[in-house]
Structure 1
């Protein structure tokens, strides 16, 4: 199995064995249920679709209700598909529950999620510009300005992709090689070294570096 779905609980810090004080993120994993199994014969590739957290039936459309009913499950809030190149053995069946024991302490994982949305931001915050220089007499409110954005008569336009002010954040971000420091099998918690993308309670895709 390639991984599981989790929710970002928040950050804290712990002491590791060598006495180092490290920042870490607590992620609640699952319970994850197998909603769909895609095969090369039927879909052209192999993957397992997982679902997490129950959703009200009245807030689910009929097509999704049939999708969950086929797996014998109640509607789920979040669905994520984990692709795998190896389909020789399918260790799970439709509707089965996958536990946190899929991971091991000390293992490296990749975390994928939607980063925090920061709204419309200027060039200094968005692209780390340094501003137009020191303020002087007659230079009014220009210290955080982007400055010149292109030539005048030729080419008489601004090229696409120019670093300017605009919406920042809320992008699909993957942070690779985070170490699992601790695993709480009772409360289904992972303690990861470092930070992960997204707000608190946002969903995360936790991918194993080595698939089973």
Structure 2
């Protein structure tokens, strides 16, 4: 920091020692009743910078302050992309098609079946640091479950489950489903949008053309057994004579988590626990699927608790007269 100089005494009388003897005799006759005011601003010698201040590199927007590193601030940043209510677990039963009775348009769709989705536990902000609902589905032999997990199921008052998944929710209002309650297909409404997540079908070791869509080598002009080859994997001088990390090459294809967004719910069968969604869903048949409200669409006007779900209507079979 530059040194701060003493204020200059502008307009003050000089010392009498610096005045000649003839002028020194006239000093008593000069009125000194009102002192000369000093300037309000003091002169500071400094350097004016021509560079504009740079924004904080921890700020997500130059016009906004830096991000806070607390857990509360982290939850607030994720609040806009956290669903209001829990999702459910379903099994992929296969694909079919629906026809519009008016236009005759064919719409491919996937049939998902819910298998005894029950609430096992609640995760709260005070105890666990976040809000979530733990859902269990399916069934499993008691002898194949560890004792701690059996105690966890017994505390919730539910049977032994095969799959256990946590669905994060935005706040305490998402814990409307009580522990031990059974949630059916009526949790979703016809016409709403959902996101599905599952493990894709494993396809084993695949080449670059099948795995990444490479075009391959030319089909003629002296190519010898390299028609489907990948080609060069790393440059000489530009990349340091090495293969850069993340290079797309041949390897295992599939068997990874895939998310398909914005699938429309076409039909809901509460009695049989079936939800029909538009389009395809990752994974083979009988694959476990996570179904939750779509993040890229407005939140649906759907039930927040089991009590708000409309009861299933079981139709009596028609009696055919002989």
Is TM (by shorter chain) over 0.5? yes
Shift of 1:140: 2.3
Q: CA deviation at 1:73?
A: 1.7
Partner of 1:50: 135
Match of 1:145 among 229, 237, 243: 229
Equivalence map 1:171-210=2 (5 Å): 171-209=256-294, 210=299
Q: CA RMSD in A?
A: 1.6
Partner of 2:89: 5
Query: Within the alignment, does 1:65 sit opposite 2:145 as a pair?
Result: no
Q: How far apart, in 2, do the equivalents of 1:15 and 1:98 lie?
A: 29
Give the distance between the partners of 2:172 and 2:202, measured in 1 at CA: 37
TM superposition shift of 1:70: 1.1
TM-superposed deviation, 1:51? 0.4
1:89 Cα shift? 6.3
The 2-side partners of 1:183 and 1:172 are apart by 26
Q: Distance in 2 between matches of 1:136 and 1:65?
A: 67
Q: Distance in 2 between matches of 1:146 and 1:66?
A: 53
* TM-score calculated relative to the size of structure 2: 0.63
- Name 2:25's counterpart in structure 1: none
Q: In structure 2, how many angstroms separate the alpha carbons of the residues matched to 1:41 and 1:150?
A: 51
Is 1:15 equivalent to 2:95 in the alignment? Answer: no
> Mind listing any 5+ residue stretches in structure 2 that lack a counterpart?
1-84, 305-322
- What CA distance in whole angstroms lies between the structure 2 residues aligned with 1:188 and 1:174? 22
Matched pairs, number: 211
The structure-2 alpha-carbon separation of the partners of 1:153 and 1:180, relative to structure 1 and needing over 3 Å to count, comes to closer
**Contact 2:186 2:269 survives alignment (8 Å):** no
1:90, 1:24 → 2: CA distance?
Answer: 31
SS of equivalent to 2:233: coil
Higher helix share: 2
* Structure 1 residue 153, shift from structure 2 partner: 6.2
CA contact (8 A) 1:135 1:142 kept: no
**2:186 touches 2:270 (CA, 8 Å); kept in 1?**
yes
Deviation at 1:40, TM superposition (A): 1.0
Runs of 4+ in 1 over 6 A off after TM superposition: none
TM-score (norm 1): 0.94
Q: Does 2:197 correspond to 1:105?
A: no
- 2:123–2:132: 8 Å Cα contact kept in structure 1? yes
- Structure ranking higher in strand proportion: 1
* In 2, Cα distance between equivalents of 1:208 and 1:89: 12
1 or 2 for the larger relative contact order (CA 8 Å, sep ≥6)? 1
